[in-house]
Amino acid sequence: MCSGRIDLEFVLRAFSNGQDGVFIGGCRLNECNYVTHGNYHALSMALLCRKIMEHIGLNPERLNIQFMSAGDGILFAEHMNDFGKKVKSLGPLGISEGIDKDVLKSKIEEITRLIPYIKIAKREKLGSRLTNKADYDGFFTSNEIDSLLRDVPSYYIDPDKCQACMICAKKCPAEAIEGSKNRIHVIDQDKCIKCGTCFEACPPRFGAVTRMVGKPVPPPIPEEKRTIARKSKEK
């Protein structure tokens, strides 16, 4: 499997399941046989993940990425031995960092739910090709990640503007929008993945979807008030 297919969710899932460390091995940079250069994407993803790990209190050294060819058996063994020793010295996940098991799991689950938003917000950097190792450490900064996860947007459908056209509901990848024909749509905030698809899909002439940052989302309109009474056309 191309290392470019390794998703941020895979790494977080491993930690959520209690793994003490994650190792990613990819082809040598700039030697992609399929010209997709997925290993550069894997590198950017790993650097982003390490900063996210710092944000939630995990030691970023628990995630390691190395590049080598299929013929580098000895080099692979050396990397694995070194990483195994490193993880052993770090100790059990969470315990060594002083984080309660349930608290850590909750933090990872929250970040996992935000992955679509994170990918959209950082898609330009995730698509970059880092050729200089000196650029790795500062590619993503702690302040950048703190701001990213602090200013998470929420989306709200204004009941006074919603026309129940179902466009946003049909395009929502998380099926987080409740509603039907002639029924005002409501976003289930627990299901919403903050991708902004509804915001982009809502026709400009309606402008019913609002992007909100730094303030609470208004409560949903009651069920009994969601039906839209259409005026019948006179013949």
> Domain residues of the chain, as ranges?
3-150, 154-225
Question: Tens-of-pLDDT digits for all 235 residues of the chain?
Answer: 788 889 999 999 999 999 999 999 999 998 887 778 889 999 999 999 999 999 999 999 999 999 998 889 999 999 999 999 999 999 999 999 999 999 999 999 999 989 999 999 999 999 999 989 999 999 999 999 999 999 999 999 999 999 999 999 999 999 999 999 899 999 999 999 999 999 999 999 999 999 999 889 999 999 999 998 776 555 4
42, 24 contact by CB (below 8 A)? yes
Cβ contacts of residue 147 below 8 Å, gap of 6+? none
Which of the four CATH numbers 3.90.25.10, 3.40.50.720, 3.30.70.20, 3.40.630.30 does domain 154-225 have? Answer: 3.30.70.20
Q: Report d(CA 115, CA 7) in Å as an integer.
A: 10
185, 178 contact by CB (below 8 A)? yes
Q: Report d(CA 38, CA 1) in Å as an integer.
A: 10
Q: Is 148 strand, coil or helix?
A: helix
